[in-house]
Amino acid sequence: MGFGLYGHESVANEDSESESEEESETSESEEESDSETSGLDLDVCPPGCDQNLYDSTCLLREKRVDVDEKLMEERTNKETMIRDLDAMQKKAKLTEEAIQTVEQELRASQVAIVFAFEICSLRLNAAVKNQNIDKCSTSL
């Protein structure tokens, strides 16, 4: 809302807003009154219309409503499946990362085991050689 020449709020914006509200209310009430005054009952074939044509039109309308309902249901199912797929993909990614971590830890522990085995065998060889040297020196 703006200010007019004399510092007062402009009433033009308020008028246009109230006019648009009145127009929308009028159009809604006109639609209601048109359907009431037209006197058309959707359950009865209008005068001058072929009954078979009217019946087939009604059947097509019912089929369309059914198809629209099924379409909405399928869209809902699709959205649900997309959400489920996203969740499963995230879980799969986390699982794959966990597997990689475990494999790395396994390789590291295997290397440690091999290293420890080699150290033990070196100590054993050294001990055996020391005993042989001790035996040789005592026999001399």
Whole-number pLDDT of residue 131: 59
* Domain, as residue range, for 84: 40-139
Q: Are residues 76 and 135 in the same domain?
A: yes
Residue-wise pLDDT tens digits, 76-104? 999 999 999 999 999 999 999 999 999 99
Pair 36, 42: CB distance under 8 Å: no
Looking at the structure, do residues 46 and 104 belong to the same domain, yes or no?
Answer: yes
> What single-letter DSSP state applies at residue 45?
P
What pLDDT, on a 0 to 100 scale, did the predictor assign at position 120?
A: 73
pTM above 0.75, yes or no: no
Q: How far is CA 96 from CA 55, 81, 87, 108, in A?
A: 60, 22, 14, 18
pLDDT value of residue 89 = 98
Token digits of residue 113: 């085991």
Q: How many domains does the chain have?
A: 2
